[in-house]
Chain A
Amino acid sequence: MAGANGAGGGRPGGIGSPGAGGRMMKAKEKPKDTGYVLKRLGAYLFHYKWLLLLALALTIAGNSLALVGPMLSGYAVDLIELGAGRVDLEGVWHYVWLMLIFYAVSSLLSYALAILMLRISQKVVKKMRQDVFYKLQSLPVGYFDVHQTGDILSRISYDIDTVSTSLANDLIQICASAITVTGSFVMMLMISPPLLIVMLFTIPLSIFYTKYMSGRIRPLSRRRSANLGRLNGFVEEMVSGQKTLKAYAREDVNIAHFDETNEEAVDAFYQAEFVSSMVGPTVNFINNLSLALITAFGAVLYLFNTLTLGSISSFVLYSRKFSGPINELANLASELQSAMAAAERVLKVLDEEAEPEDARDAVDLPSHIRGEVVMKHVNFGYNPDRTILHDLNLRAEPGKLVAIVGPTGAGKTTIINLLMRFYDINSGRITIDGLDISKIKRKSLRKAYAMVLQDTWVFEGTIFDNIAYGKEDATREEVEAAAKAARIHSYISRLPQGYDTVLSEDGTNLSKGQKQLLTIARAMLLDARMLILDEATSNVDTRTEVHIREAMRELMKNKTCFVIAHRLSTIVDADTILVVRDGDVIEQGSHKELMEQGGFYHQLYMSQFE
């Protein structure tokens, strides 16, 4: 990646741009060309080529066996034909037993085929979902800042399902149809080449029509997928925010807005469904047309004595056989179109630019670092044309406490984003022990930090798992010790299931402050040289904070700490206080020095006592 493009790369319409959010997605998602989509999908199927071949073999075997049945019944009928009193009952019984065996075998085969196809399609879905999920893991944080959660979820569930259903069912059908079509074509050629020419007039008609309809259906299917994604986004957002909606008694208006989104979604669905459902009857019509033509032309040939009646009738039979699958194919084509549209949306995620690879010469941080962090002439903006940090300089000595204070929106959290390399800087340098962090493997860099954020995050799992999240081999004792230090142990032990209580993501069973204590306990289990506390105790009441202060000190001991806090009381003993305003460091020094300067910090500090 080019250096200049480093920060904004891969994130069209960066975080600060008004384009963020779901509504711009429509414009952004350019249709990909069919060949490309097919190639990518083909790759998934190719993975299971042997299983697919087996399925094909089963199909052929099943179809052939199906022909045997009527043949046997034909023999039986021949024996019955001998007439009253002369029927060879023994012979009939013989064929009937044979028929039963064949039917049993053919039923078994078709069950095997169904199971096989099911397994193949599930394997493909599983792989695709896995790929999308793994991809999500590799995407930069910025991607999640600008995409609606609901839309991402819609891609991994609805879209992938659409692709898989279509792939599995349609593919085998296409193969089976191809066999029938070829066979019938050969038979018709043998019966009457002139009649076949008549047929050949209508076949291109079918093909052109199918092609034309595909062209019409594709954008409609695309619109359907996109609208469903948008509906998902809306529902996700609103249902999560339902408490607020209720609080303002805005349900009615909100429902009206929902209705609009819903209308768009069902209408897009209707349009796509209706137009695709036109294909079947129309292709059927073309077939009927060809049937009429064949009959009429056949009649003419018959008049000129070049064709027997029997030939006309069997030609017609074969042409029916021939057009049946073609009819099916036309229907398949429209199903395939929705699959293609869904696949595009899945591929869009898969093709998203991942967090740039670690530089080739990137190294792991040595296990024993001193923890000296230096930012030199750092410039950064989420959006290339709007710089947020201007020429920022900062030096954190090993084991020292650096506090970052300043008005809201001054860029404090941005600094943290850069230290952890959630975003890359536009220019300048950030070093740890003199090592440029762009030359350090991200994993090893991030491992060197422990972090407690303002936005607490818990996942659906037990309290134990949530605390031990950063240290997989943590013992019960360690976890309890951390919880005790974070002053949450007594609350947890009062719960009926204690540490085995399952938390839900929206954390209804924990208050925001309790969640924060939990994440502090989580950080305590980490063995990192550097610590980031971004409003780590903002939701914890001050009395509890005093109680956990000892534990926090323990947590901060021997670590280089970056602390963002509004509560200035928590940072008065910081070694360096950085006062940030509008992306610039305007003051820097210890609490005492800054108070003596009587500048912005002094003003901020005094305002809490007014």
Chain B
Amino acid sequence: MKRILKYVVVYLPRMLGGLAIKVLGTLTDLGLPWVLAFMIDDVIPKKSLSLVALWGVVMLILAVVTRALNVQANRMASSVARDVTRSVRHDLYEKIMSLSGRQVDQFTIPSLVSRMTSDTYNIHHAVGMIQRIGVRAPMILLGGIAITFTLDVVLTLVLIATLPFIAVLVWFISSKGIPMYTKVQQAVDQMVQVVRENVTGVRVIKALSKGEGEKRRFDKINEETSAREVKASSTMSAINPIMNLILNIGLTLVIIVGAYRVHAGQMDVGKIVAFLSYFTMILNAMMSINRIFVMLSKATASANRISEVLEAPSELMPVEMESVANGCHIEFDHVKFSYYGANGAEGNSALAKEKESGRGGTLSAGEIRRNIDDISFRLKQGESLGIIGSTGSGKTTLINLLMRFYDVEEGAVRIHGRDVRSMSLKELREQFGVVFQNDILFADTIRENINFWRDIPEEQLCRAAEDAQAAEFLREIGAAALEGAGAAELTQGLSHLAASKGANLSGGQKQRVLIARALAGKPEILILDDSSSALDYKTDANLRVALREHLSGTTAIMVAQRISSVRSLDHILVMEDGQCVGYGSHEELMAGCSTYQEIYRSQMGGGDYGRS
């Protein structure tokens, strides 16, 4: 919460300005009835038309001024809300983009998305509303109390004596309510998660006719969300009636105390009457203030969820480290790592709390088997490495360490002799062109998907599309759009809009666009993580030829399952259960690595050895 208040503080001058204007507007607004009473009591009885006209004009001016002031104050309030939200969202987004892989795993992506969206809406709403309705009520409350003091001090003290009770009440109930709203938000997260799963898994669900089951699953979480909302709001809505009751008890006390005082001749009865009318004003003001409290409770829950992310410690900061002159481009030096290892177990208490709420038990540190165990290799500039091994053997983890999505536990990963931990992430990662497993296309043109906001000249984009074997299908799309062949086919094809997640492209087309993205930046290091699995052999072969011809200076690492994709590479690393079981060229491995031979046999079909 404090964290979010800081954002508000930045706009304090404008906010105070707005509030000051609002105070003026409220004063003129409250002044109107006073003028009215004055006219009825004093002006009209004088039976002078010109005086009536004069005071009428005064009222008119007051009305105009009131409107102008309030509109202006509201405008400023809205603009502060807008600016606060804008910067909260900006910082939150920036922070999310800087989280380490481990932190993203802990928060989970859906939860990050909902913090970015629904929680920031709550903040936007609250900041605006509180400024707009938060002035009048306190003014009336304070003004009302001040006036009652002038009427009778003893009675006012009786009334004020009830205020601590109200304060305790509001504090007590909202301290119960805020955690409840946090729970509501968690349930909403989970509900949204179910919907998200249904959107992404629509084919499987339909194929298995699981619609009914999914409906039941949704109904359950929908029920739960509503129940939590009812619980939280029921708690909060107890404040108003109880507060009312306390104040009204205060009022009856005033009457009874007043009665004794009048009886004793210490005050006139007229003051009690006046007291009662101001009391109504105070009561209404308290109710409005309470509305603000409810809103604040909700906003606090959201603010806390946002702060959790904002306050997550920055991992992966550059660390001073000695360089090693080893003359090679990429070096893995006795690298050890595990996802659920020392780093993962320590965690962050806030995150742990979040986890315990919806997601049963995720993997906890228990029996720890390293995901990467003592891997070493060296690559010279321009060399290529193939990584092959069974599912789950740690191939992708090596990439994650090389690009520093995670930090190694032991050992070091070096590029040009410099430890990756000693470079800024930007400096480190700008050297790469990469295609991940499950990589993503965005809802934008193919061109922008390849360019990826890097200002790469069109010519180079086309070159990349050609090399990635994407040009052919892009030309087809282009030709269809142009209704005829022409030189501009490719350009036109690049302008084709990819749907979100590339849903309007086939798996192979997606991969080729992704490879084009990796090639377009002429990277120093090219990483293709299983990126040719959706390509047929011929396309795959053409791609390899293109890479050899056009990117000879680039050091390439290819994670693959097919021997044919890696056999022509300079080195091949064979992984098994996080360990290296073979390293060398195709021929060397064929001679000395039984795992590699086994893989080879599995692909070339038993006795078909001689075919190559």
Looking at A29-37, A45-53, A395-403, A509-517, the stretch in contact with chain B turns out to be A509-517
Given A84-B264, A422-B203; A281-B71 close (CB under 8 Å): yes
Which of A248, A386, A422, A455 is within 8 Å of B454, CB to CB? A248
Distance between Cα atoms of A17 and B497 in the complex (Å) = 8
Which of A96, A122, A505 is within 8 Å of B197, CB to CB? A505
Interface of A, helix, strand, loop or mixed by DSSP: helix
Q: A446–B391 contact, CB under 8 A?
A: no
Kindly state whether residue A356 has any CB partner on chain B within 8 Å: no
Kindly state whether residue B437 has any CB partner on chain A within 8 Å: yes
Kindly state whether residue A207 has any CB partner on chain B within 8 Å: no
What are the 7 A-B residue pairs with the smallest beta carbon separation, nearest first? A408-B508, A513-B391, A84-B265, A496-B366, A281-B70, A288-B63, A21-B443
Q: A250–B52 contact, CB under 8 A?
A: no
Kindly state whether residue B219 has any CB partner on chain A within 8 Å: yes
Q: B500–A233 contact, CB under 8 A?
A: yes
Q: B249–A100 contact, CB under 8 A?
A: yes
Q: B124–A244 contact, CB under 8 A?
A: no
List A contacts of B453 (CB < 8 A).
250, 253-254, 257
Q: B503–A538 contact, CB under 8 A?
A: no
Given A137-B215, A145-B503, A299-B44; A511-B473 close (CB under 8 Å): no
Interface residues in A284-313 by Cβ distance below 8 A to B read 284-285, 288-289, 291-292, 295-296, 298-300, 302-303, 309, 312-313
Given A278-B71, A470-B210, A505-B196; A511-B82 close (CB under 8 Å): no
Q: B359–A504 contact, CB under 8 A?
A: yes
Looking at B105-113, B157-165, B168-176, B412-420, the stretch in contact with chain A turns out to be B105-113
Q: B359–A274 contact, CB under 8 A?
A: no
Kindly state whether residue B7 has any CB partner on chain A within 8 Å: no
Q: Taking CB as reference atom, which chain A residue is nearest B368?
A: A496
Interface residues in B454-503 by Cβ distance below 8 A to A read 454, 473, 480-481, 496-501, 503
Looking at B95-103, B317-325, B326-334, the stretch in contact with chain A turns out to be B95-103
Instruction: Give the shortest distance, in Å, between B469 (CB) and chain A (any CB).
Output: 9
Q: B264–A270 contact, CB under 8 A?
A: no
6 pairs from A and B in contact (CB 8 Å cutoff): A80-B262, A148-B443, A233-B443, A246-B425, A442-B206, A451-B204
| Residues 339-374 of chain B, each 1 if its beta carbon lies under 8 Å from chain A, else 0 | 000000000000000000001111110110100000
Q: A115–B237 contact, CB under 8 A?
A: yes
| Residues 363-388 of chain B, each 1 if its beta carbon lies under 8 Å from chain A, else 0 | 11011010000000000000000001
Q: A506–B109 contact, CB under 8 A?
A: yes
Kindly state whether residue A245 has any CB partner on chain B within 8 Å: yes
Kindly state whether residue B588 has any CB partner on chain A within 8 Å: no
Question: How many chain-B residues does the 8 Å CB contact rule pick out?
Answer: 195
| Residues 68-96 of chain B, each 1 if its beta carbon lies under 8 Å from chain A, else 0 | 00110011011101110110011001101
Q: Taking CB as reference atom, which chain A residue is nearest B394?
A: A511
Distance between Cα atoms of A15 and B541 in the complex (Å) = 30
Kindly state whether residue B405 has any CB partner on chain A within 8 Å: yes
Kindly state whether residue A23 has any CB partner on chain B within 8 Å: yes
Distance between Cα atoms of A156 and B190 in the complex (Å) = 13
Distance between Cα atoms of A289 and B62 in the complex (Å) = 10
Instruction: Give the shortest distance, in Å, between A257 (CB) and chain B (any CB).
Output: 7
Q: Taking CB as reference atom, which chain A residue is nearest B56?
A: A296
Distance between Cα atoms of A324 and B599 in the complex (Å) = 82
Kindly state whether residue B548 has any CB partner on chain A within 8 Å: no
Looking at B32-40, B137-145, B148-156, the stretch in contact with chain A turns out to be B32-40
List A contacts of B113 (CB < 8 A).
150, 232, 235-236, 239-240
Q: B74–A278 contact, CB under 8 A?
A: yes
Q: B237–A240 contact, CB under 8 A?
A: no
Q: Taking CB as reference atom, which chain A residue is nearest B211?
A: A137
Q: A451–B116 contact, CB under 8 A?
A: no
Looking at B9-17, B239-247, B300-308, the stretch in contact with chain A turns out to be B239-247
Which of A86, A114, A228 is within 8 Å of B241, CB to CB? A114
Q: A313–B40 contact, CB under 8 A?
A: yes
| Residues 118-139 of chain A, each 1 if its beta carbon lies under 8 Å from chain B, else 0 | 1100110110011001101110
Distance between Cα atoms of A603 and B541 in the complex (Å) = 12
Kindly state whether residue A367 has any CB partner on chain B within 8 Å: no
Instruction: Give the shortest distance, in Å, between B574 (CB) and chain A (any CB).
Output: 11
Kindly state whether residue A384 has any CB partner on chain B within 8 Å: no
Kindly state whether residue B539 has any CB partner on chain A within 8 Å: yes
Distance between Cα atoms of A228 and B121 in the complex (Å) = 9
List A contacts of B259 (CB < 8 A).
76, 79-80, 87, 89, 92
Q: B436–A247 contact, CB under 8 A?
A: yes
List A contacts of B146 (CB < 8 A).
none
Interface residues in B227-251 by Cβ distance below 8 A to A read 229-230, 233-234, 237-238, 240-242, 244-245, 248-249, 251
Given A87-B263, A141-B203; A243-B71 close (CB under 8 Å): no
List A contacts of B39 (CB < 8 A).
295, 299
Kindly state whether residue B442 has any CB partner on chain A within 8 Å: yes
Distance between Cα atoms of A449 and B203 in the complex (Å) = 12
Q: Taking CB as reference atom, which chain A residue is nearest B499?
A: A20
Q: B36–A291 contact, CB under 8 A?
A: yes
Kindly state whether residue B45 has any CB partner on chain A within 8 Å: yes
Given A266-B85, A285-B66; A107-B242 close (CB under 8 Å): yes
| Residues 482-499 of chain A, each 1 if its beta carbon lies under 8 Å from chain B, else 0 | 000000000100111100
| Residues 177-211 of chain B, each 1 if its beta carbon lies under 8 Å from chain A, else 0 | 00000000000100111111111111111111111
Q: B362–A504 contact, CB under 8 A?
A: yes
Kindly state whether residue A241 has any CB partner on chain B within 8 Å: yes
19 more A-B contacts (CB under 8 A) besides A104-B245, A285-B63, A409-B506?
A: A111-B240, A133-B195, A136-B198, A145-B499, A149-B199, A239-B113, A240-B440, A251-B98, A277-B75, A281-B70, A288-B66, A422-B206, A457-B197, A511-B396, A512-B438, A604-B537, A607-B538, A608-B537, A609-B604
Q: A237–B78 contact, CB under 8 A?
A: no
Kindly state whether residue B255 has any CB partner on chain A within 8 Å: yes
Interface residues in A589-609 by Cβ distance below 8 A to B read 603-604, 607-609
Which of B67, B90, B222, B367 is within 8 Å of A262, CB to CB? B90
Kindly state whether residue A566 has any CB partner on chain B within 8 Å: yes
Which of A144, A244, A259, A280 is within 8 Å of B436, CB to CB? A244
Q: Taking CB as reference atom, which chain A residue is nearest B83?
A: A266
Kindly state whether residue A103 has any CB partner on chain B within 8 Å: yes
Given A80-B272, A84-B263, A292-B59; A566-B500 close (CB under 8 Å): no
Kindly state whether residue A5 has any CB partner on chain B within 8 Å: no
Kindly state whether residue A420 has any CB partner on chain B within 8 Å: yes
Instruction: Give the shortest distance, in Å, between A590 (CB) and chain B (any CB).
Output: 16
Q: Taking CB as reference atom, which chain B residue is nearest A454?
A: B507
Q: B602–A303 contact, CB under 8 A?
A: no
Distance between Cα atoms of A126 and B403 in the complex (Å) = 45
Kindly state whether residue A282 has any CB partner on chain B within 8 Å: yes
Distance between Cα atoms of A157 and B508 in the complex (Å) = 35
Q: A96–B63 contact, CB under 8 A?
A: no
Q: A134–B272 contact, CB under 8 A?
A: no
Instruction: Give the shortest distance, in Å, between B427 (CB) and chain A (any CB).
Output: 8
List B contacts of A382 (CB < 8 A).
504
Kindly state whether residue B535 has any CB partner on chain A within 8 Å: yes
Distance between Cα atoms of A277 and B94 in the complex (Å) = 32
Distance between Cα atoms of A460 and B355 in the complex (Å) = 13
Kindly state whether residue A543 has any CB partner on chain B within 8 Å: yes
Kindly state whether residue A81 has any CB partner on chain B within 8 Å: yes
Q: A546–B63 contact, CB under 8 A?
A: no
Which of A16, A146, A258, A457 is within 8 Å of B90, CB to CB? A258
Q: A497–B363 contact, CB under 8 A?
A: yes
List B contacts of A137 (CB < 8 A).
198, 205, 211, 214-215
Distance between Cα atoms of A442 and B209 in the complex (Å) = 9
List A contacts of B562 (CB < 8 A).
542, 567, 608
Kindly state whether residue A267 has any CB partner on chain B within 8 Å: yes
